[in-house]
Amino acid sequence: MLSIPYNHLSKAAFVCKGWKVEIELREFLKHRKAASYSQSIIVMVQARVNGNQDCQSAKYPPTPVYGLTVYEPKTGIWSELPPIPWLSNGLPMFCRLAGVGSDLVVIGEWDPKTWIVFNNVYIYNFVLATWRHGVDMPGVLRSFFGCACDDDRMVFVAGGHDDEKNALKSVIAYVIAKDEWIPLLDMAQECDECKAMFHRGKFHVIGGYCMKLQGGFEESVETFDFSTWKWDQVNKDYFVCNMCLKACVASDNGKLYLCWASDEATLEKDILKIVAQPRAELGG
């Protein structure tokens, strides 16, 4: 069973009860990875516009519907995930994605028709190829927050702003196995429109801006140390770019890659190096 492609595991799980129990075990995925049968995939949000609409004659441009696309780097195959059953208008605008084990977690943000903020959580399981409801984010209606996951089946949400546009410094974590949210200690300052990620065993909240700056993006980072269960001192000169980060990614070799509108850079041993300039159409 270890060699079964990931997109056929859901069918294999219904061969017999024994197979289903085995495939749903957390250890099954570890054994697949150890045997070099696990597959790396990239899941991204893509906009789809109704091809039957006349964009030029319409008074307003057609509203795109957002869905999830899967890319397999090894095979070059593209595919689409089934839509979330409870969302007739597609994915929420600005929703956050986090991959944890065999689960894809979709969190927040705006209803594409009404622009009402969601705190909903939806979870797609690649083994069973099914969607389920998670537990809604507690607290205020949160937008433009940072989101990242660790290796222990937890998703972390940091900062953002509430429905009154007040920047937030609160941080919460979602334990998928228990379907529960737990609070972490607040950050030292509010952080709206920030990015979040795990790097070298710590949770990083990067960039964004505090309440008094209102759109003046900072070059700072706050890191949460799980060994002490405390936030480290704020590093206010983490990178030299007072712009909104488009993305940040950590690699297996210890490098941290940052991308904003004008440049792509890598942060290695606390030294920021510009490595490329993104194509113009990727800057928006």
Separation of alpha carbons 69 and 80, rounded Å: 4
What mean pLDDT do residues 151-169 have? 90
- The architecture in CATH of the region 142-284 reads 6 Propeller (2.120)
What mean pLDDT do residues 149-161 have? 89
User: What ranges do the domains of the chain cover?
Assistant: 142-284
- pLDDT tens digit sequence for 7-24: 888 888 888 888 888 888
pLDDT of residue 284: 43
- pLDDT tens digit sequence for 58-74: 555 667 889 999 999 98
Which pLDDT band holds residue 271 (cuts at 50, 70, 90)? very low
- Listed in sequence order, the residues at least 6 apart from 119 whose beta carbon sits closer than 8 Å to its beta carbon are 108, 136, 137, 138, 141, 142
pLDDT of residue 213: 66
- pLDDT tens digit sequence for 132-141: 999 999 999 9
